[in-house]
Amino acid sequence: GIVLGIESSCDETAAALVTTDRRIVAQRIASQDESHAPYGGVVPEIAARAHAERLAPMIEAVMDEAGLSLAELDAIAATAGPGLIGGVMVGLVSAKALAMAGDVPLIAVNHLEGHALSPRLADPDLEFPYALLLVSGGHCQILRVEGVGHYRRLATTIDDALGEAFDKTAKILGLGFPGGPAVERLAHEGDPRAVPLPRPLVDSGEPHFSFAGLKSAVLRAKESGQHRDADLAASFQQAALDCVLDRLRVALDAMEPVPALVVAGGVAANQTIREALERFASERGMRFVAPPMALCTDNAAMIAWAGCERLGQSDPLDIAARPRWPLDPEAEPVRGAGY
C-alpha cells in the first residue's frame, strides 16, 4: 500500500509518500524559520498563511515525482492535531478535498502518534511494546507504546517541554530561533560542569518533568556575567540530560519491562542526548532505537507512516481539527502542559 502524508501543525509544511513496506517514495518539506525568527518564536497567523501558500504545490510535486494519481493512493493521512489550529486546518482541509476528489480514505493522524511511531518507519525490527521518550517543542513525555493507538503515559512536564527549554536557553544566550541545534553546537565548546545549575524534581520520587526552574537558573547565571556562553550552553544541556535520565529511571522502574528504549521528536536530533540515551539503555540491557535526524523534527513521512500503520481506517470528511489531543486519554492532567 502507499499513503500520502501531510504535516502542517507547527512551522514545517510537508508532504510525503510512504509505502507499507517502509519506503519513502517522495517527500518535500519547507521550514518557516526565517519568517518567524524576527519574532523569536512561531507566530500562528504567519504559519497558517505560509502553509496555505506552500502545501498544494508540494503535494503536486510528490505525486508527480512518484507518477501517481490520487485514485492510486491507499489513503491520505493528515495531521489533525495537536498543534496550531490554523495550520492544522490548512493541512486537514486539503487532505479532505483530495480524499473526496480521489475517492480515497482519509486518516486523521495525531501528530504525537506520528512522532511516536516514526522509529518503526526507520527500524523494521522495532516491535511493540517499547518505552518511548517523546521530546519535542511542545511535549515532553515518557510513554509505554503498546500498539497503534495504545499509549500509556508515565510522565509529562508540569511546565516547559524539553525543546522549549532549549529554545528559551538559546534566546537567553542570543542564539536566535529555533534554538535547539544552536545550543547543541555551542555546548560542544563548553564545560558541562562549569556552571552549577539545578536538576528540577530529580530524586523527588515524583515522575514528571519540570524545566522552568532550570531555564530561570540559566537566565540568572547569564545575568551574573560570570560565565562563558559556551559553558552555560554545555551546563544547561548536561542538567537537562541528567533530568531526562533520572525521570527515565523512575518511569522504566514503574512500567512492565520492555525490550527497547526509543527516542523521538525534535530533541531526539541532539547527538549528545542520543549518545547518553544509548549508554543508558545498554546499561539496562535494553536495545536503543532513534530515528535518523530528518525523521526526528517535524516531517510528513512520519504522518504518512502513521497512516500506513492505520491502513483500513477511514475517518469522516467532517472530522474536526483538534488543538489538544492527548495520546493517552486516561492520563491524569497535570499543571502547565495539561497532558
Annotated binding site: 111, 115, 134-138, 167, 180, 184, 270, 298
179 contacts which partner out of ligand ATP, Mg ion, Fe ion, none, CB within 5 to 8 A by kind?
ligand ATP
Look at residues 333, 337, 328 and name the one whose alpha carbon lies nearest to residue 152.
328
167 contacts which partner out of Mg ion, Fe ion, ligand ATP, none, CB within 5 to 8 A by kind?
ligand ATP
User: What x/- string results for residues 122 through 161 when contact with Fe ion is judged by CB under 5 A?
Assistant: --------------x-------------------------
Helix 85-102, helix 44-66: angle, nearest 10: 30
In the complex, the smallest distance separating the C-beta of residue 137 from Mg ion, rounded to whole angstroms, is 7
State the DSSP code for 269.
G
Long-range contacts of 329-336 (CB under 8 A, 24+ apart): 331/152, 331/153, 331/156, 334/156, 334/157, 334/158, 334/208, 335/158, 335/159, 336/157, 336/158, 336/159, 336/160
By CB under 5 A, is residue 118 in contact with Fe ion? no
Task: Report CA torsion sign: 264, 269, 270, 274.
Answer: positive
Specify whether the CB–CB gap between 24 and 300 falls below 8 A. Answer: no
In the complex, the smallest distance separating the C-beta of residue 67 from ligand ATP, rounded to whole angstroms, is 30
113 contacts which partner out of Fe ion, Mg ion, ligand ATP, none, CB within 5 to 8 A by kind?
none
The residue among 83 and 192 lying less far from Mg ion, judged by its C-beta, is 83
Binding residues for substrate: 134-138, 167, 180, 184, 270
Binding residues for Fe cation: 111, 115, 298
Span near Mg ion by CB under 5 A; candidates 10-18, 44-52, 188-196, 201-209 = 10-18
267 contacts which partner out of Fe ion, ligand ATP, Mg ion, none, CB within 5 to 8 A by kind?
ligand ATP
C-alpha cell at 179: 534554538
Specify whether the CB–CB gap between 2 and 19 falls below 8 A. Answer: yes
In the complex, the smallest distance separating the C-beta of residue 174 from ligand ATP, rounded to whole angstroms, is 15
In the complex, the smallest distance separating the C-beta of residue 315 from ligand ATP, rounded to whole angstroms, is 20
Taking CB under 5 A as the criterion, the residue among 3, 8, 11, 251 binding Mg ion is 11
Q: Is the peptide bond before 82 cis (omega within 30 degrees of 0)?
A: yes
The residue among 138 and 291 lying less far from ligand ATP, judged by its C-beta, is 138
Judged by CB under 5 A, the chain residues 289 through 308 that form the site for Fe ion are: 298
The residue among 159 and 298 lying less far from Mg ion, judged by its C-beta, is 298
In the complex, the smallest distance separating the C-beta of residue 74 from ligand ATP, rounded to whole angstroms, is 26
Long-range contacts of 308-312 (CB under 8 A, 24+ apart): 308/1, 308/3, 308/18, 308/19, 308/20, 309/117, 309/120, 309/148, 310/75, 310/77, 310/107, 310/109, 310/148, 310/149, 311/1, 311/3, 311/20, 311/74, 311/75, 311/107
Q: Do the strands 2-7 and 12-19 form a parallel or antiparallel pair, or are they unpaired? A: antiparallel
Burial of 193 (0-12, 13-18, 19+ CB in 10 A): exposed
In the bound state, the residue with its beta carbon closest to ligand ATP is 266
The residue among 2 and 89 lying less far from Fe ion, judged by its C-beta, is 89
In the complex, the smallest distance separating the C-beta of residue 12 from Fe ion, rounded to whole angstroms, is 8
Question: What are the φ and ψ backbone dihedral angles of 48, each rounded to 5 degrees?
Answer: -60, -40
According to DSSP, the residues that pair with 79 across neighbouring strands are: 109
The residue among 231 and 298 lying less far from Fe ion, judged by its C-beta, is 298
Q: Which residue ranges make up the site for ligand ATP (CB under 6 A)?
A: 9-10, 83, 111, 115, 136-139, 163-164, 166-167, 178-181, 184, 265-267, 269-270, 297-298
Distance CA(24)–CA(30), nearest Å, equals: 17
List interacting residues with Fe ion (CB under 5 A): 136, 298
| Positions in the binding site for Mg ion (CB under 5 A) | 11-12
